[in-house]
Amino acid sequence: MKTNVFSIDGSQSTKTIELNDEVFNREVSEGTIYYAVNNELANRRVGTASTKTRGEVKFSNAKPYRQKGTGNARAGDRKSPVWVGGGTIFGPKPRDYSYVLPKKMKRLAMKSLLSKGVQDERLVVVEDFSIESGKTRELNQILKNFVSDEKRTVLILGDDDVMTRRAARNIPYLRVLSFNRLSAKELLYGRKLLVLESAAKGLNEFYGDKQGDQK
């Protein structure tokens, strides 16, 4: 499929680019998108939540009162979970929530998200640019030509442009990704996907029809 390439001033130029149908114009797989987003969220979990069991709570081992004759329930020590300040039963302990998603599933999810962006008219191919000064003001002026009301925006770069990334750090609604390191969560929730021309070519090759890909 062919699509127009926009200038950085927001106008539609006469230049067009060929987008791989396997990447940008395929049937969307909602299931793989779901699993890819869940995988990213799980991998981001710190997993440091921790509670103390009755063996870890700092309390005396002395019996709080005698066994019989008080009218109270029997109690061996104050570390019991039924006492205020006692241990916790089956509470969380530090653990690793991350897991590996099958490569074919992850690739299919990314291609589905890019195709969904095209179908929803959220994806725009923009001519290559770089913020050599690294100033946020210059990047913000370009973004205003494509984004209104500071909607959540994703900028996909063709290479690891350090100065452009620096300029984007102070823009709260912008996420910057490389074409070969996409994020399912950002592609799904981004209201606008700005793909640089070099990044579009990179996506054509990186996610193109390879042997073993799911159809």
| CATH number of this structure's domain 2-28+101-206 | 3.40.1370.10
**What's at 146, amino acid-wise?**
F
What gap in Å lies between CA 6 and CA 127, rounded to an integer? 6
pLDDT for res 213: 56
Q: How many residues does the chain have?
A: 215
pLDDT reading at 211 higher than 50: no
Estimate the crossing angle of helix 103-119 against helix 30-44, to 10 degrees: 110
Model confidence pLDDT, tens digit, residues 110-124:
999 999 999 999 999
What gap in Å lies between CA 201 and CA 177, rounded to an integer? 15
pTM value is 0.84
Contact 158, 198 (CB under 8 A): yes
pLDDT higher at 1 or 183: 183
- DSSP sequence for 52-112: --TTTS----S-SS-SSSSSSPP-S-TTSTTSTT---SS---------PPPHHHHHHHHHH
Model confidence pLDDT, tens digit, residues 8-60:
998 887 889 999 999 999 999 999 999 999 999 999 999 999 999 999 999 99
Structural domain spans, the chain: 2-28+101-206
pLDDT for res 154: 96
* 160-177 mean pLDDT: 94
Contact 15, 5 (CB under 8 A): yes
* 179-206 mean pLDDT: 95
* 143-172 mean pLDDT: 92
